Amino acid sequence: MEQETKELRRVGLKVTHPRMRILQIFDEEEGNHLTAEDVYKKLLAHQEDIGLATVYRVLTQFEAAGIIIKHNFEGGQAVYELDRGRHHDHMIDVDSGKVIEFVSEEIERLQREIAARHGYVIEDHSLVLYVRPKNHARKA
């Protein structure tokens, strides 16, 4: 509770019940990528009477305040995750929609080299791999 209160104040948001509860859900699920509906269902499971419209509004406020990051991966709803300030890339399981995080120093280095070869430095990047479990792979 205290952690969430501090975090809301730090980013200049008034401490309200929906904001507290939604931030708690992200804190409990650290490293998880949740849709607005996932958040809504988790609130329901905790007998919280917070509507989906409120969830969307709070998520938009959190995104604007830099608490969470929104991803628009292909073929699914937007997912949100806590901004832990650590760069990582994503893999999306196209069968289940599961989001897997990864970091590859080799890929990071290659990207810097490629940009440099073109006379650029990387400002930002996001890499998304759309994957299928190996044993479910489609035969060519």
Question: Is 133 exposed, middle or buried (CB count within 10 Å of its CB: 0-12, 13-18, 19+)?
Answer: exposed
State the Rg of the chain over Cα.
18
C-beta closer to Zn ion: residue 4 or 81? 81
Q: Which is nearer to Zn ion, 37 or 101 (CB)?
A: 101
Footprint of Zn ion on 35-94 (CB under 5 A): 81
From the list 101, 114, 127, 132, which residue makes contact with Zn ion (rule: CB under 5 A)? 101
Identity of the residue, 17 or 70, whose beta carbon is nearer to Zn ion in the bound complex: 70
Candidate segments 14-22, 98-106, 108-116, 122-130, binder of Zn ion by CB under 5 A: 98-106
What would the x/- binding string for Zn ion be over residues 105 to 124, using CB under 5 A? --------------------
Of 35 and 54, which has the nearer Cβ to Zn ion?
35
Alpha carbon 139 to chain centroid distance?
32
- Kindly tell me which of 95 and 101 has the beta carbon lying closer to Zn ion: 101
**Inter-CA distances, 92 with 34, 41, 53, 89, 110, Å:** 13, 22, 26, 10, 22
Nearest Cα residue to 80 out of 11, 140, 6, 26:
26
AA identity, residue 112: R
Give the interface size with Zn ion as a residue count (CB under 5 A): 2
- DSSP 3-state of 26: helix
Q: Does 7 bind Zn ion (CB under 5 A)?
A: no
Q: Which spans of this chain sit near Zn ion (rule: CB under 5 A)?
A: 81, 101
